[in-house]
Amino acid sequence: MPPLTIVSTIAELRTARATLPEPIGLVPTMGYLHAGHLSLVERARGENAAVVVSIFVNPAQFGPQEDLAAYPRDLPGDLARLQAGGANLVWLPDPQIVYPPGFQTWVSVEEIARPLEGAMRPGHFRGVATVVAKLFNAVQPQRAYFGQKDAQQVVVIRRMAADLNFPIEVVVCPTIREPDGLAMSSRNSYLSVEERRAAPVLFRALSQAQAAFLDGERSAEALRSRMLAALAAAPLAEPQYVSCADPDTLQEMDGSIQGCLLSMAVFIGKTRLIDNLLLPAEPAP
Amino acid sequence: MPPLTIVSTIAELRTARATLPEPIGLVPTMGYLHAGHLSLVERARGENAAVVVSIFVNPAQFGPQEDLAAYPRDLPGDLARLQAGGANLVWLPDPQIVYPPGFQTWVSVEEIARPLEGAMRPGHFRGVATVVAKLFNAVQPQRAYFGQKDAQQVVVIRRMAADLNFPIEVVVCPTIREPDGLAMSSRNSYLSVEERRAAPVLFRALSQAQAAFLDGERSAEALRSRMLAALAAAPLAEPQYVSCADPDTLQEMDGSIQGCLLSMAVFIGKTRLIDNLLLPAEPAP
């Protein structure tokens, strides 16, 4: 494994980045790394000459009532995992390096950032788009890696990268799941033992709707009802939304669909979990 | 002089840009080039191995009541001037290349974009910041050149480049003036003969306030009054605002000042002209 360089300031980052061979793959993270993150590092390693990972719990993407202060951290464990995973460079900026005094520039993606997570978390995607634009410029990678777990984030970042002409390929990697189907997430660490037992209901609900779709069900309403029924049968699960949306525009669909993005946000106790499955449209006959 | 390459699509631009030696200097323009623009090209030539010029009348920075449709154009003349001026590459995109269907990402600079031009032209600086971010990513220059004539634009772009970590040096060049003091502007072509005779009053008013400052006048109110009095004495001049503002924050100043940015927007007939002078603070004793 290559030696792992750790930097904090932008100047240190640029100096270290200049010594790396190209192409460079960037994996942006908020730390507390799990197998999902490490699958992005592995994919980036396979496709690039060097891998840069950022660890930054971005205050701008948390709402005032959200879990910024409680967000889990394990820096020594993260660095050991990244060293073992073959990353070359880790950027660990303090918040005042990313948002220095006088900072006042924001990147906003409009229509596709409004429904779903955007409706539940006002300002969230402005914070995401802004920090990712900054990461793109600070690291200047050829490729950047994101997980399908955050389905709307992926759509927003792809749109932002295209709209602002970033010379960077956005690579989306599959959701990594626990053996019982629970999507890997740093927030799973909030779950009590009992909640953890209930949490696979998100994937179960998505899978039941997927199975119905594969059996020929094409009604968006029926797919949403199927997911809600599966969630209602589980203890502790309080759905915030279930969605059957157009995979490109993220607008909620009605009536007969071709493919769609099934997604949901569900409270398990006080912990808010999200998950999704893409149902591909059949090829035209 | 080097051969002048002309491209239209992003793909053509990236291909042509990849053949140029670095460092690259970018001069963003809206065309109808005058000696002010050409001074930017000359400065960029002196400091870089190659010069890229963009010509794009950016619809996003014009308000619905503004002069987008009437904005003057002279493409053959512009290309001849750029060839003679030693530019290497000209990017001439159609609006649908810059803003394709589905475009929905905007870059906004907040506090410093609100007063002065921002107050008179809502949305203007959002359009400017967005198109400049796109130009930076599409061209990937090492330096970008802007004229002090658009004083607030310079402050907004510097802030945007710093806040979003663009690896690009923003270079600001002096305002170029006609012999009678009128700042060079493509919009001067709108002026009738009579209006053209009246138009140097902006620089005269700025110069009188500057002279008062150099004579020891330190009252922001007095400097604004001095400019208004000079404008009132001229035929055809209808001031929209005169300002004595903090050069960094662009907040209007009151009472006793050190240095400041003097600026104004004045209608000469139907043509809106802007101009400014920076009054430097004296070094601390």
ipTM of the complex: 0.96
Contact of A102 with chain B, judged by CB distance below 8 Å, is answered with: yes
Interface of A with B in 210-269 (CB under 8 A): none
CA distance A134 to chain B (A): 5
What phi, psi does A212 have (nearest 5°)?
Answer: -60, -40
Q: Residue B284's pLDDT band (boundaries 50, 70, 90)?
A: low
- Give the residues of chain A that fall short of pLDDT 50: none
Whether B105 sits inside 8 A of A102 (CB atoms) is no
pLDDT at A130: 98
pLDDT at A262: 98
- CATH 3.30.1300.10 domain locations along chain A: 186-276
- Please give the average per-residue pLDDT across B224-230, as a whole number: 98
CA distance A34 to chain B (A): 29
Q: Cβ(A143)–Cβ(A25) under 8 Å?
A: yes
Q: Residue B283's pLDDT band (boundaries 50, 70, 90)?
A: confident
Give me the architecture of the B5-173 domain, per CATH: 3-Layer(aba) Sandwich (3.40)
pLDDT at A225: 98
- Please report residues of B whose CB lies closer than 8 A to that of A140: 167
Whether A137 sits inside 8 A of B167 (CB atoms) is yes
Inter-chain contacts counted by CB atoms under 8 A, chains A and B = 71
- CATH 3.30.1300.10 domain locations along chain B: 186-277
Give me the architecture of the B186-277 domain, per CATH: 2-Layer Sandwich (3.30)
- Give the C-alpha separation, B258 to B135, whole Å: 36
pLDDT at A284: 65
Whether A167 sits inside 8 A of B137 (CB atoms) is yes
pLDDT at B280: 92
Q: Cβ(B95)–Cβ(B71) under 8 Å?
A: no
A183 CB-near residues (< 8 Å, 6+ apart)? A36, A149, A175, A176, A177, A202, A203, A273, A274, A275
Q: Report the chain B residue with the minimal C-alpha distance to residue A109.
A: B105
Interface of A with B in 144-183 (CB under 8 A): 159-160, 163-167
Q: Which of A93, A89, A74, A88 is nearest to A134 (CA)?
A: A93
What phi, psi does B78 have (nearest 5°)?
Answer: -60, -45
- Please report residues of A whose CB lies closer than 8 A to that of B110: 104-106
Give the closest of A102, A106, A163 to B103, CB-based: A163
CA distance B235 to chain A (A): 41
A186-276 maps to which CATH number?
3.30.1300.10
- CATH 3.40.50.620 domain locations along chain A: 5-173
Whether B105 sits inside 8 A of A163 (CB atoms) is yes
Interface probe for A, chosen from B22, B98, B105 (most Cβ of A below 10 Å), is: B105
CA distance A157 to chain B (A): 10
Pairing of strands A24-29, B24-29: unpaired
